Structure 1
Amino acid sequence: MRLRSFGFLVAFVAAVVTTPALAQVHVAVAANFTAPMQIIAADFEKDTGNKVVASFGATGQFYAQIKNGAPFEVLLAADDSTPAKLESEGLAVSGTRFTYATGALALWSARDGYVDANGDVLKKNQFRHLAIANPKTAPYGLAATQVLDKLGLTRAVASKIVEGQNISQAQQFVATGNAELGFVALSQIYKNGKITGGSAWIVPASLHEPIKQDAVVLVKGRDNPAARAFVEYLKGPKAAEVIKSFGYTL
């Protein structure tokens, strides 16, 4: 009995020693991509056995954190300029940058019928508060200011704008009724071909610069195979279907 128990113990220890630890990759993710990222991360873990540790926020804030040594290994930005800048500064791995999605902007209200299909509610200017993301750190916030400029409404609505730190906070202002309407990422209110609640105007792409969203492997992820594996997975057909279902184009 003792020999048999000892043999079992040896076999158990050997199994523990030889079983590889679950690989992890730390990813900084633009707030607009929260919902698709949650699905893609779960699929990635299921399909590869590697785990994604994701942080969500404004691209500009992530840039500052990366410059200050934050332990992120991959960045999924809300623009194409931040990853390019990190690459030029030696903080991202050259040759790993690519566009994983092109985003769309929407003017949204949590109230049914409040926002018309042409966005004329903006010109009527009968609302008290208009939510946008901080244009200095969030590309969707910058796109919102470009729309207002194109429509000649910047001065008229300036006193009514409430800024969120990122696009998630801007969306929350609208969802909670603290703002009657706001500019959000289409992906936040869209799933499988339709608006998921409230009313919205999908802003024509001609009213703002393209929202090309690039991903890049950061220098802290250079030697992590899970970082490279995740980036490749993001380029694959399974991730592409998820991305498109939230209103992005590829």
Structure 2
Amino acid sequence: MTFAATRFVPVCLASLLAIFNFGAAQADEVQVAVAANFTAPIQAIAADFEKDTGHKLVAAYGATGQFYTQIKNGAPFQVFLAADDTTPAKLEQESEAVKGSRFTYAIGTLALWSAKQGFVDAQGEVLKHNAYQHLAIANPKAAPYGLAATQVLEKLQLTEATKTKIVEGQNITQAYQFVYTGNAELGFVALSQIYKDGQVSSGSAWIVPAALHDPIKQDAVILNKGKDSAAARALVDYLKGPKAAAVIRSFGYQL
């Protein structure tokens, strides 16, 4: 009886080690290019993704247009979370992405925001009152939220009136920083940057009606460098699941 037990223990340990090593071998990193507006949600999602799948998400943040250029120039990204639907579609058409992997992971909302309490009214009339010196927006040529901002100004017939007031950031994060630091009294930002658990978390804001700009439909796609990556496929599947959806909604996005 004692002899049998002595032989049984190392067999179990060996089995456990084999299982552990198999799991470790399956775990991998996924390199993700993430539109700047989605920084906070993907950081919140990443921890659960790693815990639930064993894979590690390594993200870079920036403007969608800039990422397009980097991907075309051979950047090592495996998955692209864009701020629009046209750029991933273009990459797919240009054979830079895995066909059939593209899907909409979020629909963004634009907000006019000031770090000052009470500065922005609920209808956005502050734009017409001319009581500000600087209006921050993201680069409309590289960032879909910046393009949406210019469409809003055009719809409100304020393009000319605000021309000398605009401070342009390279991406939506920089536009947010201009307002956050007080270098601009107000600016157009992604609602996700100032919104948490059903409310604006600081300052004052006007949530821009969707009818004032083209839909900010945000698509994700697996890039060619991720076509054989289990971690890339796992991330795409995870973003379509209920846990990620709950996080995405909590930051003010629609699905």
TM-score between the two structures when normalised by the length of structure 1: 0.93
> What residue is the counterpart of 2:4 in the other structure?
none
Decide whether aligned partners of structure 1 residues 233 and 17 sit closer, same or farther in structure 2, where only a CA change above 3 A counts: closer
Identity of paired residues, percent?
Answer: 73
> What residue is the counterpart of 1:192 in the other structure?
197
Amino acid at match of 2:165: K
Decide whether aligned partners of structure 1 residues 93 and 18 sit closer, same or farther in structure 2, where only a CA change above 3 A counts: closer
- Partner Cα distance (2:80, 2:196) in 1: 24
Q: Is 1:130 aligned to 2:139, yes or no?
A: no
Shift of residue 18, structure 1, vs aligned partner:
5.5
> What residue is the counterpart of 2:215 in the other structure?
210
> What residue is the counterpart of 1:228 in the other structure?
233
2:30 counterpart SS class: strand
- Identify unmatched segments of 5+ residues in structure 1: 1-6
Q: Is 1:149 aligned to 2:154, yes or no?
A: yes
Q: Matched residue pairs, number?
A: 241
- Partner Cα distance (2:23, 2:102) in 1: 33
Decide whether aligned partners of structure 1 residues 234 and 111 sit closer, same or farther in structure 2, where only a CA change above 3 A counts: same
- Partner Cα distance (1:17, 1:190) in 2: 42
RMSD: 1.6
Amino acid at match of 1:111: K
- Partner Cα distance (1:18, 1:203) in 2: 50
- Partner Cα distance (2:197, 2:172) in 1: 21
- Partner Cα distance (1:89, 1:204) in 2: 34
> What residue is the counterpart of 1:32 in the other structure?
37
Q: Deviations over 1:150-195 (max 9, x none)?
A: 0000000100100000000000000000000000000000011100
> What residue is the counterpart of 1:72 in the other structure?
77
1:113 counterpart SS class: coil
Decide whether aligned partners of structure 1 residues 42 and 130 sit closer, same or farther in structure 2, where only a CA change above 3 A counts: same
2:164 counterpart SS class: helix
> What residue is the counterpart of 1:20 in the other structure?
24
Amino acid at match of 1:219: N
- Partner Cα distance (1:124, 1:134) in 2: 24
Q: Deviations over 1:24-81 (max 9, x none)?
A: 1000000000000001111100101000000010000000000000000000000000
- Partner Cα distance (1:29, 1:174) in 2: 22
Shift of residue 20, structure 1, vs aligned partner:
2.8
Q: Deviations over 1:81-117 (max 9, x none)?
A: 0000000000000000000000000000000000000
Shift of residue 17, structure 1, vs aligned partner:
6.5
Decide whether aligned partners of structure 1 residues 226 and 125 sit closer, same or farther in structure 2, where only a CA change above 3 A counts: same
Amino acid at match of 1:216: V
Runs of 4+ in 1 over 4 A off after TM superposition: 14-19
Decide whether aligned partners of structure 1 residues 80 and 18 sit closer, same or farther in structure 2, where only a CA change above 3 A counts: closer
Amino acid at match of 1:225: A
Q: Is 1:174 aligned to 2:179, yes or no?
A: yes
Shift of residue 19, structure 1, vs aligned partner:
5.9
Shift of residue 125, structure 1, vs aligned partner:
1.4
TM-score between the two structures when normalised by the length of structure 2: 0.91
